[in-house]
A and B are shown apart, each in its own frame.
Chain A
Amino acid sequence: MHPALLAVITIAIGVGGCIGYFYLSNLFLDKVLFPAKGPNIGQNINRANAIRPWLFLFPAMFALGLYLAYPVFETLRLSFFNRSLGQYVGFDNYARMFGEPKFLEALRNNFLWLLIVPAASTAFGLMAAQLTDRIKWGNLAKSLVFMPMAISFVGASVIWKLVYDAKPLGQEQIGILNAIYLGLGGSEPQQWLTIPLWNNMFLMIVLIWIQTGFAMVILSAALRGIPEETIEAAIIDGANPFQIFFKIKVPQIAGTIVVVWTTITLVVLKIFDIVFAMTNGQWNTQVLANYMYDKLFRAGDWGVGSASAIVIMVLVLPILVWNVRSARKEMR
């Protein structure tokens, strides 16, 4: 069958099935199981209303449970099995993984990413938000800085590979970074993506470029939400623009900055496409998610693959706990 036709049929079945399920199950509940008539009408209505939420929730909770909750525990279980998942090996996978230089390199690089990308994106985003809010064409500027958000990590990788391109000395450079480097007096064109440690930085720039727009949009909304009186008071007290920004505005949006920071941190922990497309972990640029992909689909070692996924989960766990706690606080 042609995939487009298959897609149309799936949409019809999926959407129709969902709507049909909700409609029919409600009908069944109201007309057959607990009809709102007869001798115990009040009791029936109450019972129907007690059951109905679960009808509404069931498909979503089933999908969430099967596609996200169950895999967490299953992956944890599988991480104690050997490469073909046939035999229990205890902590063997973890021991082997932590003995492997490539894994330690991935761990180190992930920490570098964690330190630099959220900080840089938030800082640039804050700067962009503050500056664009003050000028007339600010909205256009915001749109353009925000645009990389829509570009895939793979597309961004191609875009930046062109920026980092290097031609041998003597030929004209087509990568703009080398053209600038030579124009500023560099001695010879550099293969930017093969210089250890620095190449991590060049990969991070791609993600910073994408995430700055996100930080900018959210921080700009937060900045606009600051009560004007506080700023007026500061001006009357003789504060200069920098003092207003750092001592009045930033403390008031600290909560939002933390949210932006953690959101970008989550993206960084899962970063895969950029490294996969640009260097594939060569030249000391490995990261955890790409290491896991390598183990799964190149080395065929599902045990160590699961173990490395659990490492990512452990790194995410503090954010998860913090998120749940603040969500619960809000509910009260």
Chain B
Amino acid sequence: MDNIAGSKAGLTWAVHLSVALLVFVWMVPTVGLFISSFRTADQISSTGWWKAAFPIEQNLTLRTAAPDTQVQEGDQFVVTGNLFEEAESTVSNLSAFAISARDIGAYQPGETAEMRDGSRITVEENGDYRLESAEAFEGSRGERVFVTATVPPEFTLANYDQVLGKDVARNIVIYAVASLLFGFALTLIFRSYETGVMSFAHYIGGFLLFFALIAIFGLSSGKVAGAQSTDDMSRAFMSTLTVTIPATIIPIVIAAFAAYALAWMDFPGRALLIAFVVALLVVPLQLALIPLLKLHLAIGIGKGYLGVWLAHTGFGLPLAIYLLRNYMVGLPRDIIENAKVDGATDYQIFVRIILPLSFPALASFAIFQFLWTWNDLLVAKVFLIDATGDTTVMTNQIVELLGTRGGNWEILATAAFVSIAVPLLVFFMMQKYLVRGLLAGSVK
């Protein structure tokens, strides 16, 4: 609308550039985490993630073969082999090597380095080495060689295997692609249906196939050797899911009835009750922690799923009632009055007319409550997680990882991304409803 009088080309460019800059700045932190979750621990700690797409010069610590492979050639004991092959490294050439961590890069390929015990090692550019000594090598492990090599960019799913279980990430991607294709095929078949259940056939079919594939083929093919149990996010993932779904559905049902009463039924004290809901909308949940924890402990619910479901239901209700009432009030009065004239009871009007019409508002609140319960830390910490820690949720586990594995960015980034992935998916799929809900909830 500013363009009515024409706008200056320079200004338009400035707008494009500043939006691009804004988007860039806003994306950089998330992209950094995302990229880091696909890099190896060595790569993360040796270069910034923004250099991930370029080959990097990296210092590797490799070992020669164990002394029991030595052969005697005349009066020399010799160990030969290839450093890279023995380490199963993807790197295949080196630019320098050293025999001490203090003078990395001391020798060029083909040079011979003399060690303190008198043995000599020659390393070629391709990693072939020849270690020789006048005396027999002893011990169980080979000599350390510090190699400087240019490593090509490499991305791996190994972090996800460690955090979720072997092959889980790969399988999810394969199943998701299959389900998407199946859903797309269903869209083509059922495209003549514009309303009703069949218009959702592609969503339903896609999800069903996805879960069927998981049920039939399974997700994980076991644990990665050496993975720490505290890194395992799969149990926390299930726990988060267990908290989230009832805590999203139950408040919707309760709130919908109340919202209808507050929107379309006449009774004394209605305005007061609406004011009551609006007031509770802003009560900080910190106030509720102590009395409710005491209550839960006193009546035997204790800490557990039931307690956290009840708490999330209570804390979500004010927004649910407020959003749904605002939406229902806006529905045309005629429909409801016509139904009443035709002899429908309030219950019938609510279930048959209001509820289907309120779908957008229900969806908006469902997304809010889902995001809020999925991302919550405080309520879970107070009402759910007991001393055994069996029911830990993802947010809590990430905070614990921040404490115990503060420097292990490959684990942290992957764990964080696993917990972020689902809300991001929901966000991009249901953004329309989220925006609608935000507008209904705050713009007056």
Contacts and interface: CB of A to CB of B under 8 A. Distances in A.
B291 interface: yes
A57 B258 contact: yes
A56 B265 contact: yes
A174 B44 contact: yes
Interface in B255-280: 255, 257-258, 260-262, 265-267, 270-271, 273-280
A57 B272 CA distance: 13
Interface in A219-259: 221-222, 228, 231-232, 235-236, 241, 244, 255-256, 259
Contacts of B16: 135
B395 interface: yes
B275 A324 contact: yes
A150 B19 contact: no
Given A52-B346, A273-B395, A11 B249 contact: yes
Closest 4 CB pairs of A and B: A67-B314, A152-B375, A60-B258, A150-B427
Interface string B45-57: 1111110000000
B378 A152 contact: no
A80 interface: no
A228 B239 CA distance: 51
B284 A57 contact: no
B27 interface: yes
A158 interface: yes
A243 B265 CA distance: 48
B335 interface: no
Given A131-B19, A147-B427, A155-B398, A309 B246 contact: no
Interface in B357-379: 371, 374-378
B291 A128 contact: no
A75 interface: yes
Q: How many B residues touch the partner, as a band?
A: 35 or more
A34 interface: no
A94 interface: no
Contact of B257 (A22, A155, A232): A22
Given A150-B423, A154-B419, A260-B442, A161 B402 contact: yes
Contacts of A263: 442
A293 B396 CA distance: 14
B231 to A, nearest CB: 14
Contact of A316 (B283, B435, B442): B283
Interface stretch (B30-38, B63-71, B140-148): B30-38
26 contacts: A4-B238, A6-B242, A7-B245, A15-B249, A18-B250, A18-B254, A52-B346, A56-B265, A56-B346, A68-B288, A75-B288, A137-B19, A146-B431, A149-B427, A150-B420, A150-B423, A152-B420, A172-B46, A174-B49, A176-B32, A259-B442, A272-B378, A276-B377, A289-B286, A326-B444, A328-B271
Interface in A40-63: 49-50, 52-54, 56-57, 59-61, 63
Given A150-B426, A158-B33, A159-B32, 5 more contacts: A66-B314, A221-B443, A235-B4, A269-B284, A323-B278
Given A152-B420, A158-B398, A302-B290, A316 B282 contact: yes
Given A57-B273, A151-B420, A152-B377, A3 B15 contact: no
A301 to B, nearest CB: 11
Contacts of A119: none
Interface string A138-159: 1001011111111111110111
Contact of A162 (B257, B382, B413, B423): B413
Contacts, number: 347
Contacts of A52: 261, 265, 346
Interface in B114-144: none
Given A60-B258, A313-B283, A273 B377 contact: yes
A7 B305 contact: yes
A172 B19 CA distance: 31
B258 A56 contact: yes
Contact of B238 (A3, A174, A272): A3
Given A61-B273, A131-B15, A331-B271, A162 B306 contact: no
A162 B444 CA distance: 39
Contacts of A289: 284, 286, 378
Contacts of B271: 328, 331
A160 B409 CA distance: 12
Contacts of A173: 48
A324 B279 contact: yes
A147 B427 CA distance: 7
A67 B274 CA distance: 17
A35 to B, nearest CB: 13
Nearest to B376: A152
Interface string A294-312: 0011000010011001101
A59 B261 CA distance: 12
A126 interface: no
Contact of A327 (B275, B294, B427): B275
Which of B270, B345, B412: most chain A CB closer than 10 A? Answer: B345
B47 A159 contact: no
Contact of A147 (B275, B311, B424): B424
A127 B19 CA distance: 9
A292 interface: yes
A235 B6 CA distance: 10
Interface stretch (B105-113, B207-215, B315-323): B315-323
A277 interface: yes
Contacts of A19: 253
A221 B443 CA distance: 9
Contact of B292 (A11, A67, A172, A176): A67
A218 to B, nearest CB: 6
B420 A155 contact: yes
B22 interface: yes
A133 B132 CA distance: 73
A112 interface: no
Contact of B314 (A64, A154, A161, A162): A64
A222 B83 CA distance: 65
A270 interface: yes
B287 A6 contact: no
B2 A241 contact: yes
B29 A160 contact: yes
A151 B30 contact: yes
Interface in B387-420: 391, 395, 398-399, 402, 409, 412-413, 415-416, 419-420
Contacts of B249: 11, 14-15
A319 B267 contact: no
A162 B29 contact: yes
Given A3-B239, A174-B45, A263-B442, A320 B282 contact: yes
A72 B292 CA distance: 11
A212 B29 CA distance: 15
A100 interface: no
B353 interface: no
